[in-house]
Homo-oligomer: A and B are copies of this chain.
């Protein structure tokens, strides 16, 4: 059975609780629930981690290299500023897909550049919680024989 890490970056624990006009009303727990169910239907086991701490996210990426077949990573506000997270993604062998809930290109200037994108397998942005689903579909499609 394949295993995938869903890694949520800073402030994503607030999903569905605050600023619903921006982030929607679905909570992080509900999103994780849906993803776990969807993955299970395709024979994939998920582990989900959320942290507001840059260092914990680095640790989680290092750790995933030992057990996961793939990582789906939403780096949140660290997307644009963290060379250390970039180095962590580059250093591990397991592929990482970068996802964003919103279209980062349609927001403030300082959000348009992703330091992390160029070391990821690919990037998916703008589809809300379905961005995670599309990341899962890619892993499933790649492993299947379609």
Q: Which residues of B contact A91 (CB under 8 A)?
A: 11, 14, 18-19
Interface size on A, residues (CB 8 A): 64
- Asked if A46 is an interface residue, CB under 8 A from chain B, the answer is no
Q: Which residues of B lie under 8 Å from residue A52 when comparing CB positions?
A: 54-55, 58-59, 62, 84, 88
User: Does A13 reach chain B (CB closer than 8 Å)?
Assistant: yes
CA distance A120 to B80 in the complex (A): 20
Question: In the complex, which residues of chain B have a beta carbon less than 8 angstroms from the beta carbon of A119?
Answer: 106
Q: Could you give, for residues 77-90 of chain A, a 1 whenever the CB lies within 8 Å of some chain B CB and a 0 otherwise? A: 11111111111101
Closest 4 CB pairs of A and B: A53-B55, A122-B126, A77-B84, A105-B117
Question: Within A1-55, which residues are at the interface with B (CB < 8 Å)?
Answer: 9-11, 13-14, 18-19, 38, 51-55
A52-B55, A77-B85, A85-B77 known; A125 and B127 CB under 8 Å?
Answer: no
Q: Pick the contact of A83: B13, B18, B77, B85 (CB < 8 A).
A: B77
